[in-house]
Amino acid sequence: MAQLPSTLFITGADRGLGLALVEEFLRHGVDVFAGIHSSSAEIRGLTNVDYSRLTLIDLDVSAPDSIRSAAAAVDRHTHALDVLVNNAGVHLEDERVPLEELDFDDGHLERSMAVNAFGPLRVVQAFLPLLEEGTTRRIVNITSEAGSIVACRRDREFAYSMSKSAANMATSLLNNYLVPRGFGVMAVHPGWIRSEMGGPEADLSPAEAAAEVAGIILGPLPENGAIYIDHRGNNLPW
Ligand SMILES: NC(=O)c1ccc[n+]([C@@H]2O[C@H](COP(=O)([O-])OP(=O)(O)OC[C@H]3O[C@@H](n4cnc5c(N)ncnc54)[C@H](OP(=O)(O)O)[C@@H]3O)[C@@H](O)[C@H]2O)c1
């Protein structure tokens, strides 16, 4: 990006990486619209941030009405959005079971797809008019290395991994569709993070991951044209 974006929308900012990214973007002087799913307690508790640049917007990325309302709410503040970060995600506990115990009837497969795969796509569709008015036109889907088919090393976590592969494909399709309209579209693996999702053994604190991921989101597009990359900017195999 030649210049820093001035406006950005991020989903799933209640906690974890999303919350840490909000802090990071505010530190860079960006006006942040933060999608809140269930609780704004942590984001309201942030210290040393410029609250005049932060607007909280209720958003469930699996609910079409909620997404439409969120886009309309942002539109009441600004008609132009520079960056969209699809960060919201779920990794449901009950999917860490082997094939024999996989429950197809408990709804976790559908919920994972609705949030992780179709959620980002729905959000892009609803926010596209705002993004088209922006100057930097950047869409970043926080997917995962778990979505890589080439580098697959797991033998379970079907719902999470399959939904992240689908989000990667959405990224590639959107890239093909939107690059001619001046957009940059990326799928970013943020590292293994000590959030509720990543657990206490993970490598990176949310703040450490957010510093690296924000550098990628706010920085120039990779010169080699890679659009599936990790938090350090390394190209990932699809
Ligand atoms: N943690 C890792 O090691 C890791 C590794 C690779 C990729 N990632 C990806 O990084 C992103 C952030 O992960 P994280 O570690 O910060 O996870 P997290 O701590 O579990 O936070 C997930 C966030 O998404 C929100 N969310 C869940 N369902 C939602 C919905 N239907 N609509 C809107 N928001 C929703 C959650 O809100 P609630 O609090 O209301 O549930 C929460 O704010 C995810 O996409 C994840 O897949 C994480």
Lining residues, ligand 1, CB within 6 Å = 11-12, 14-18, 37-38, 59-62, 87-90, 115, 142, 144, 189-190, 192-193, 195-198, 202
Q: Are 174 and 181 in contact (CB under 8 A)?
A: no
- 235, part of any domain: no
Q: What is the CA radius of gyration of the chain?
A: 17
The boundaries of the domain holding residue 105 are: 7-230
* Beta bridge mates, 228: 187
What is the structure's pLDDT at 1? 52
Q: Nearest residue CA, atom 33 of ligand 1?
A: 60
- 237, part of any domain: no
What is the structure's pLDDT at 4? 83
**DSSP-derived secondary structure letter, 143:** -
CA 200–ligand 1 middle distance (angstroms): 15
What is the structure's pLDDT at 2? 52
Tell me how many domains the chain contains.
Answer: 1
Phi, psi (degrees; rounded to nearest 5) at 69: -65, -40
**DSSP-derived secondary structure letter, 200:** T
Give the residue numbers annotated as catalytic, written as ranges: 160, 164
Per-residue pLDDT of the chain (238 residues; tens, 9 = 90+): 557 889 999 999 999 999 999 999 999 999 999 999 999 999 999 998 999 999 999 999 999 999 999 999 999 999 999 999 999 999 997 668 999 999 999 999 999 999 999 999 999 999 999 999 999 999 999 999 999 999 999 999 999 999 999 999 999 999 999 999 999 999 999 999 999 999 999 999 999 999 999 999 999 999 999 999 999 999 999 9
Find how far residue 53's CA is from the centre of its chain: 20
Measured CA to CA, the distance from residue 182 to residue 170 in angstroms comes to 18
What is the domain-level CATH number for residue 89? 3.40.50.720
- 238, part of any domain: no
CA 180–ligand 1 middle distance (angstroms): 30
Measured CA to CA, the distance from residue 232 to residue 144 in angstroms comes to 13
At how many degrees (to 10) do helices 119-132 and 158-178 cross?
A: 20
Residue to mutate, 33, 37, 230, ligand 1, most ligand atoms under 8 Å from C-beta: 37
**How many degrees, rounded to 5, is the angle at CA 44 between CA 41 and CA 48?**
140
- 157, part of any domain: yes
- 236, part of any domain: no
- 36, part of any domain: yes
| Strand stretches in 110-173, DSSP E | 138-142
**DSSP-derived secondary structure letter, 106:** S
CA 195–ligand 1 middle distance (angstroms): 8
What's this model's pTM, rounded to 2 decimal places? 0.98
Residue found by looking up tokens 């080699």 in the block: 224
Measured CA to CA, the distance from residue 127 to residue 118 in angstroms comes to 14
- 1, part of any domain: no
- 85, part of any domain: yes
